Amino acid sequence: MARMYSGKRGKSGSKKPLKKTAPSWVRLSAKEAEMLIVKMAKEGMPASLIGLTLRDKYGVPDVEALCGKSVTKILGEKKQLPELPEDVTALMRRAAAINKHLLENRHDETARRGLHLAESKIHRLVKYYKRNGRIAEEWKYDLTQAGYLLG
């Protein structure tokens, strides 16, 4: 998500290729790429790391251009998606780490604000994923459980 509460413009980064077709120099076929994606998911890699590995080791600049669907769509079709989306788990890890810090440093108001912002972002994302059916409607975020889940 964007930087909502700071005046900053955000980081510059790499851009997606303009062409929506796979380059001619990519050696993998769509089936081979899907098999690699499923194999990496079974090894416990998250979707973003799978995309980075395909880019760096196998020379696939864009999985969607090669296969016609994203890594998460492929994992969803193969029933390999984790219970919680990757961005929510990362934010829960951050909130748990900030909370642990706050237990030792009770007067750190900057960290308290960081925890508040992280939890707000978690709530927004969970609402979005519930609306789209990615998370069950009865699932609820709880900071005390977040530390145990992500342990």
- Give the percent of the chain with pLDDT over 70: 94
How is residue 136 written in tokens?
A: 């069950």
148 confidence band (pLDDT: 50, 70, 90): confident
Q: Are residues 94 and 115 in the same domain?
A: yes
* pLDDT given for residue 22 in this prediction: 85
Residue where one domain finishes, among candidates 77, 96, 114 = 77
Q: From CA 12, how far away is CA 126, in angstroms rounded?
A: 27
What is the CATH classification number for the domain harbouring 92? 1.10.287.10
Q: Under a CB-based contact definition with an 8 Å cutoff, are residues 58 and 28 in contact?
A: yes
Mean pLDDT of the residues in the chain: 90
Q: From CA 92, how far away is CA 108, in angstroms rounded?
A: 20
Q: For residue 10, is it within any domain?
A: no
Residue 13 has pLDDT above 90, yes or no: no
* pLDDT given for residue 147 in this prediction: 77
Per-residue model confidence as pLDDT tens digits over 106-120:
999 999 999 999 999
Domain containing 110 equals 86-150
Q: For residue 8, is it within any domain?
A: no
Number of independent structural domains in the chain? 2
